[in-house]
Structure 1
């Protein structure tokens, strides 16, 4: 544990944010060095975001199991890039989300990959916090495939079998400019926009408590109007929409179809800025049952969990591959008090190791 924490401290010290490509590379190289020699390493790069894929030997196989971790973090004050340990917790940016989990995955891969009777891979990416399109999605586009994927995002050794998709759009309303003293001579675009937003929220009201339903957050409203004494002729709203797999009005539709749906719903023009699918894994598959049993053996329930935030598992869901989130404990994600619960690190390592060695994989030949 002391050696692990020393390396973890060095990894936390790397300010691997999206705007620092050299630091993204440095974080990736540090974890690859932790894995050590004797493995095949395939490197990828897309729009300045490096990533890597590691496996035992020979040509890249179709993996039976793939361990996925991201090494990028959201911005933070400089002091958060110095790890500190207090009362069984390691504090710092990336401790919970998700450098420690990625490092555990790297260590488990290093220790067991060569002895397994089937191909297992380690996938390390550096762009999850800004969408994942240049890491996990890019590798899938380049032919990386697997039967089952474990993503090491924080879960307290519970198993996340579902997470919401993400849709970010702009609603744009137009009106007619006029002097503010004579508003009846114009048409206020902000009022038109407010009515459009109200129609969207009537369809997707803000829940009073946590609910597995589509949510809409009005993130920003803006107009080019700079005069107070003028009726604005245009206005734009930015919406962040999170949707579960069950929302068939959005899930399974392409950007053009989603745009048409929201145009009809809102009554104004819509631009789709980004659309990412949700993620769902069947909880009764042999892989998930084996992972749950491994969590039980490590002293945790392995209870099922659904997450409202988007993660890289959505790219595997879209490719028809089961993926789950399974990581250690902690709290304070993206906040000033982010920490990893160090009491969960060793159980997490044991659970991953036990899972990869389960009888479910007996008789599976390496390279199959």
Structure 2
């Protein structure tokens, strides 16, 4: 399929949705994006690395902004091709990836082809395999093999955020907490020591846990410590001798992973538990005080219909934050609709995000004034 980058980004979103691109099967959409960038933009160096398309300008401008978005989707659920509809008086586009995140990709592609006098040098990264295990993530591959392509003064990820700037992201930590007991026949339970029952003090602490809230750069992050899986028992007539709880700690980005681990240890201190870290990822500070980020905030707030808030959850912005680069999530669509069979994006949000980003990326400061 040929993509028209100068078309309305609404039409461009629909065209991207109509190219199936489930994770590990992005060849067609990658080829379409690569061809369009090579033939419909000027001043960009364009290259393809596996199923990642990279493009950048080198105009000698004082700042560089990365626009990054993944091209893959979760499995299709009878929702490709896309379709337009009217819901509660609003026009929307249904389709797999319409929210997560082909509408954000469409905005980035359209702006790359239509901004004539940019305020920043631009780097575009359209990558594969974001929706599956991190080892396959195309942005992870670029970070490892072509890290210079990630260098910038600000990175904008086109994750769905309802047209708000969702700054930074939470870190995540998963810990397996285990207990042991003595196995016995359940008819003679007094001869055993029930490992599941020994989890009770831990579960009580988790249910009574009060999450910390912290304000960073005007964004309020709320932490959460939750039991997300319980396992134990071998048979319906056996007192179990082993049990475990998997705990997930979503922590504010002012904590490091090591500090998050130490906090969980403090919460469970004094309990006789095995402690095994099974997964962790650092959060990302919002970095909104950086000059390049401040300009984006001004452009969004001038629009009047959106603002700035904390990002709950983990996203690829953390890869940039770890390199000292301020990074935000900013795109059309309600993240609560991502991956759903009825995934859909309001057309007005595609237009609004395009206008706000154009105001930020152009040299003509009157674009920001026009949005006020």
**Which bracket does the TM-score occupy, shorter chain normalised?**
0.7 to 0.9
Q: Number of residues paired by the alignment?
A: 341
Aligned equivalents of 1:175 and 1:52: distance in 2? 54
The answer for the alignment partner of 1:273 in structure 2 is: 278
In the alignment, what sits opposite 1:344?
Answer: 349
Match of 2:234 among 226, 244, 254: 226
Do residues 321 (structure 1) and 330 (structure 2) align? no
What is the aligned counterpart of 2:223 among 207, 214, 220? 214
Aligned-partner Cα distance in 1 for 2:280–2:14: 35
Q: Is the 8 A contact 1:68 1:149 kept in 2?
A: yes
Pair 1:205–1:57, CA change in 2 (3 A): closer
What residue in structure 1 maps to residue 202 of structure 2? 196
Tell me what 1:51 maps to: 52
Contact 2:251 2:260 in 1 (8 A): no
Correspondences of 1:74-113 after superposition (within 5 Å): 74-77=74-77, 79-87=78-86, 88-112=91-115
CA separation of 1:131 and 1:202: change in aligned 2, threshold 3 A: farther
| 1:166–1:310 contact (8 Å) kept in structure 2 | yes
SS in structure 2 of the partner of residue 121 of structure 1: strand
The aligned counterpart of 1:364 is: none
**Aligned residue number for residue 71 of structure 1:** 71
Aligned residues of 1:199 and 1:265 also touching (Cα < 8 A): no
Structure 2 residue corresponding to 1:335, chosen from 319, 333, 340? 340
Contact in 1 for aligned 2:120/2:361 (Cα 8 Å): no
> Residue 118 of structure 1: CA displacement?
4.8
**Equivalent residues in 2 for 1:44-193 (5 A)?**
44=49, 50-56=51-57, 64-77=64-77, 79-87=78-86, 88-112=91-115, 115-116=117-118, 118-130=120-132, 132=134, 134-142=137-145, 143=147, 144-193=150-199
Q: CA RMSD in A?
A: 3.3
Q: Are residues 171 and 82 of structure 1, via their aligned partners in 2, closer, same or farther at CA, if it must alter by over 3 Å?
A: farther
Aligned-partner Cα distance in 1 for 2:10–2:93 = 9
**1-structure distance, mates of 2:72, 2:203:** 34
Q: 2:33 aligned with 1:31, yes or no?
A: yes
Give a deviation string over 1:192-212, Cα, whole Å, max 9, x none: 2343333344345699xxx83
How has the CA–CA distance of structure 1 residues 289 and 265 changed in structure 2, closer, same or farther, with 3 Å as cutoff? farther
- Aligned equivalent of 1:288, options 279, 293, 303: 293
Distance 1:240 1:140 in 2: 26
Q: Which runs of 5+ in 2 are unaligned?
A: 1-5, 214-219, 366-372
| Runs of 5+ consecutive residues of structure 1 not aligned to the other structure | 361-368
The TM-score with structure 1 as length reference comes to 0.80
- For 2:138 and 2:205, the matched residues in 1 are separated by 36
Is contact 2:45–2:56 with CA below 8 Å preserved after alignment?
A: yes
Q: CA contact under 8 A between 1:63 and 1:121: conserved in structure 2?
A: no
Q: How far off is 1:63 after superposition?
A: 7.2
